[in-house]
Structure 1
Amino acid sequence: MADIKVPELAESISEGTIANWLKNIGDYVNQGDYLVELETDKVNIEIISDFSGKITEQKFAEGDTVRVGETIAVVDESEENKPATVNEPQEKVISQKPVDDVGKLNPVTEKLEKQEDGNQRPIASPAARKLAREKGFNLNDVPTNDPLGRIRKQDVSSFQPESMNSNSISKVEKSSEKVNSTEASKPIIYERMSRRRQTIAKRLVEVQQTAAMLTTFNEIDMTAVMDLRKRRKDKFFDENEVRLGFMSFFTKAVVAALKKFPHINAEIQGDELLIKKFYDIGIAVAAAEGLVVPVVRDADRKSFAEIEMDIMELAEKARTNKLALNDLQGGTFTITNGGVFGSLLSTPILNGPQVGILGMHKIQLRPVAIDKERMENRPMMYVALSYDHRIVDGKGAVSFLSKIKELLEDPENLLLEG
């Protein structure tokens, strides 16, 4: 028997949550096969099997928390389990009730037989347990036609809570006892927070408790940038095979402004300031399980096309859950664009330990005074800079934001600043 353990993940990650078992008990795995998907604070990681053999035990179900070094599965490397029994159905393994040379049941059968006594939790597949948690069902209440009493995903899917007897109270009903009588009869759904959402919540609260955070605002006339994009977008795409978006302009403007105001590209370490002379810009991306901030490395050394390609690749990784830890670590400043969702104005929260974050917003036509006599409708964007007042004074923050406004309202200057 060989133990499959949670490997070292990263310096800052000591545990994770089992998101999905890719192999089931009774399946044959080869060395190097993906075994389980683990959800960590930042990314999902697929753990491989270091051994070849049949999976005889899964020590944790989907949704359970596991720590680095813990055994999560057991693989039987015996010769009799080699390819002839690859992917053999679990029911067959159980029904045969194989014994070893001292007459004891093998680990799979022994575990299930013990559970049939009713003294342990119900026999259920990991997928069934996950679905039951999501629906708020008690597995003891779910009927099954399986001769061994094993509950499968389809049993949970077809289960109707109305069929429960008066002594079977669901998790939702138990929880509803905590609310007052007026609310008790109203529909409530309890949804477990993902590990990533828990981490986001924890870190945002930590930032607000540890940083002296303030926000300053300005507005940018986007006419020049939009005209430049309109004139150059086709040629830009033909030459670079990537579209010219707003993010490359803002990234370039941020880098130029950070060079003028280096304390906004710093962090606090103890009683010292760590002023960074490199420019790794985090770009906030809305992924399915919550906001992530992948990093465009050395943005000061990259062209508009290289920045757009990096952003496109990182956004695709975020959408497909393929971001690596290295993609998320080490940013010096962050840009977030709530405007793509229609936000007109907001106060972004710092991405600690960084001391500055720029919030972009929706471009909206507004009347602007050109001079004393003329008014024009211009495409305007509100921008917000949240900063840590422990390092950055108001004058520096306002000047930083004014520099970004100046560069974007005359975007040819970005070439000179770059």
Structure 2
Amino acid sequence: MAEIIVPELAESISEGTIAQWLKKTGEKVEKGDYIAELETDKVNVEIISEHSGVVTQLLKKEGDTVAVGEIIAIVDEDKEKDALVEKEHTSKPDEQVMGEMNAVKVESIAEQNHESVDKFGNRPIASPAARKLAREKGIDLSSVQAQDPLGRIRKHDIEATLIQKDSQHKQQIHSPQPKQAAQNKSAVELFEKPVEVIKMSRRRQTIAKRLVEAQHTAAMLTTFNEVDMTAILDLRKRRKEAFERNNDVKLGFMSFFTKAVIGALKKYPLLNAEIQDDEIIVKKYYDIGIAVAADDGLVVPVVRDADKLGFAGIEKKIAELAEKARNNKLSLSDLQGGTFTITNGGIFGSLMSTPILNAPQVGILGMHKIQLRPVAIDEERMENRPMMYIALSYDHRIVDGKEAVGFLAKVKELLEDPEQLLLEG
């Protein structure tokens, strides 16, 4: 018998939730096959079987929380061997097969003389090693399910029963007490009209926890500005077809904003820092997080060394990360270590918002919907211009208002004159 355990995930992750089983009880599994999908605080990971055989037990249900190192399934490596033996038997002459079956019966009868009678008057067939382990652990053989096709109880059947009993005991310990269950029920009954109770996913719980922590641990403020997007829209209109033809990727807005943020961070480096105890760690590199809305909640994959990438490189990397996010294929390395974050609520129609810091970062830029608005060109002229509100949330513990306002003004300046991005971004 082989155990499938939850592997080490990452330094900051100690548990997860069984999202779905990819193999069922009785199903054959090869070494290296995916057996389960595990949802963690940050990403979904697939657990690989390190053994070949047949899945005999799934010790956890979908939705159960499991810890690193915990046993979640049992694979019987002997099942494949038994299948081969059975195949050999079927290929032998009938007389030889009958002889072997008679020998098994003789052996079974002999073993029955050493077994106690169960409540149905039957004598379980068990190997000496199984009988010894059952006596030591106080296991009733009549309650053990044999995996052997002939019904013989082996040592690994006893071990599987012990694991199952231990798992059931833990579930009983962690299950809500009757009083708690009554409290939960009464909470639902407070509503006079129909309601639907939806359990929060692990990722949603983590998002909620981290957002609250960010507001409690940082002195967060938000400052606003607006950008005239005329120049960028004109540049994209003129260059988008050639850009896509030459680079096999569309020219979006994110590359402009990423370059503008990098240019502003170089002038205001404290927004590219974090606080550790009583020290300020100023990053001399630019790993820009791009917030992406996935089905299970917001994730922030990171574009590494974005200052070293051109517009095409940034657009390709963002497209790759967004695709991985939609398909739950992001790895932990895709999400860790960002220095500053950009989030775009404009794709959902948001006109203005106050983004929340992605701790331990001290700055996040919010993009919003482009909307035609009348703008004063001079004292006498007004024009309808494509305008976007931008918002910078920052940690006032190390970033003063003067720096925050200056940062946002620099972003505005670079976006309204995108040719500067080639020089300063």
- With the shorter chain as reference, the TM-score category is 0.7 to 0.9
Could you tell me which residue of structure 2 aligns to residue 127 of structure 1? none
SS where residue 239 of structure 1 aligns?
A: helix
SS where residue 418 of structure 2 aligns?
A: coil
Q: 1:357 to 1:67 in 2, by over 3 A?
A: same
Aligned-pair CA distance for 1:177: 3.2
Could you tell me which residue of structure 2 aligns to residue 225 of structure 1? 232
Could you tell me which residue of structure 2 aligns to residue 325 of structure 1? 332
Distance 1:328 1:20 in 2: 23
Distance 1:99 1:212 in 2: 70
Could you tell me which residue of structure 2 aligns to residue 158 of structure 1? none
1:20 equivalenced with 2:10 (yes/no): no
Give the alignment partner of residue 264 of structure 2, picking from 234, 251, 257. Answer: 257
1:350 equivalenced with 2:389 (yes/no): no
Distance 2:406 2:127 in 1: 80
Aligned-pair CA distance for 1:53: 1.0
Could you tell me which residue of structure 2 aligns to residue 101 of structure 1? 127
Can you list the C-alpha shifts for 1:62-86, whole angstroms capped at 9, x where unaligned? 1001111111111111154457999
Give the alignment partner of residue 406 of structure 2, picking from 376, 395, 399. Answer: 399
Give the alignment partner of residue 280 of structure 2, picking from 273, 280, 288. Answer: 273
Contact 1:26/1:55 (<8 A) preserved: yes
Identity score, percent: 69
Distance 1:37 1:223 in 2: 46
Contact 1:57/1:107 (<8 A) preserved: no
SS where residue 177 of structure 1 aligns?
A: helix
State the superposition RMSD in angstroms: 2.3
Distance 1:323 1:331 in 2: 15
Contact 1:21/1:35 (<8 A) preserved: yes
SS where residue 334 of structure 1 aligns?
A: strand
Give the alignment partner of residue 334 of structure 1, picking from 334, 337, 341. Answer: 341
Can you list the C-alpha shifts for 1:316-342, whole angstroms capped at 9, x where unaligned? 000011001000000000000000000
Q: 1:286 to 1:207 in 2, by over 3 A?
A: same
SS where residue 390 of structure 2 aligns?
A: strand
Give the alignment partner of residue 312 of structure 2, picking from 305, 315, 319. Answer: 305
Distance 2:85 2:22 in 1: 21
Contact 1:53/1:81 (<8 A) preserved: no
Can you list the C-alpha shifts for 1:353-377, whole angstroms capped at 9, x where unaligned? 0000000000000000000110000
Following superposition of structure 1 onto structure 2, how do residues 12-411 of structure 1 map, counting pairs within 5 Å?
Answer: 12-78=12-78, 79-82=80-83, 100-101=126-127, 104=141, 105-106=144-145, 175=184, 177-178=186-187, 183-184=191-192, 186-411=193-418
Distance 2:23 2:309 in 1: 43
Aligned-pair CA distance for 1:176: 5.3
Deviates more, 1:218-227 or 1:24-33: 24-33
Aligned-pair CA distance for 1:394: 0.0
Distance 2:301 2:85 in 1: 45
Q: 1:216 to 1:26 in 2, by over 3 A?
A: same
TM-score after normalising by structure 2: 0.78
Can you list the C-alpha shifts for 1:240-262, whole angstroms capped at 9, x where unaligned? 00000000000000001000000
Can you list the C-alpha shifts for 1:263-282, whole angstroms capped at 9, x where unaligned? 00000011000000000000
Q: 1:81 to 1:213 in 2, by over 3 A?
A: farther
| Contiguous gaps of at least 5 residues in structure 1 | 87-97, 115-119, 122-170
Contact 1:28/1:82 (<8 A) preserved: no
Distance 2:346 2:84 in 1: 55
Distance 2:316 2:364 in 1: 22
Distance 2:303 2:348 in 1: 22
Aligned-pair CA distance for 1:178: 3.1
Q: 1:175 to 1:221 in 2, by over 3 A?
A: same
Distance 2:195 2:205 in 1: 21
Contact 1:211/1:388 (<8 A) preserved: yes
SS where residue 347 of structure 1 aligns?
A: coil
TM-score after normalising by structure 1: 0.79
Larger Rg: 2
Could you tell me which residue of structure 2 aligns to residue 416 of structure 1? 423
Amino acid at match of 1:220: V
Size of the alignment, in residue pairs? 348
Can you list the C-alpha shifts for 1:204-242, whole angstroms capped at 9, x where unaligned? 000000000000000000000000000000000000000
Can you list the C-alpha shifts for 1:14-71, whole angstroms capped at 9, x where unaligned? 1000000001111111111110000000110001101111111111111001111111
Distance 1:316 1:362 in 2: 22
Aligned-pair CA distance for 1:101: 3.0
Distance 2:317 2:238 in 1: 23
Can you list the C-alpha shifts for 1:150-209, whole angstroms capped at 9, x where unaligned? xxxxxxxxxxxxxxxxxxxxx9x995533566x33x111110000000000000000000
SS where residue 412 of structure 1 aligns?
A: helix
Contact 1:28/1:81 (<8 A) preserved: no
Amino acid at match of 1:192: K
Contact 1:212/1:390 (<8 A) preserved: yes
Aligned-pair CA distance for 1:304: 0.1
Amino acid at match of 2:187: K
Could you tell me which residue of structure 2 aligns to residue 129 of structure 1? none
Distance 1:210 1:217 in 2: 22
Amino acid at match of 2:302: V
Could you tell me which residue of structure 1 aligns to residue 138 of structure 2? none
Q: 1:107 to 1:70 in 2, by over 3 A?
A: farther
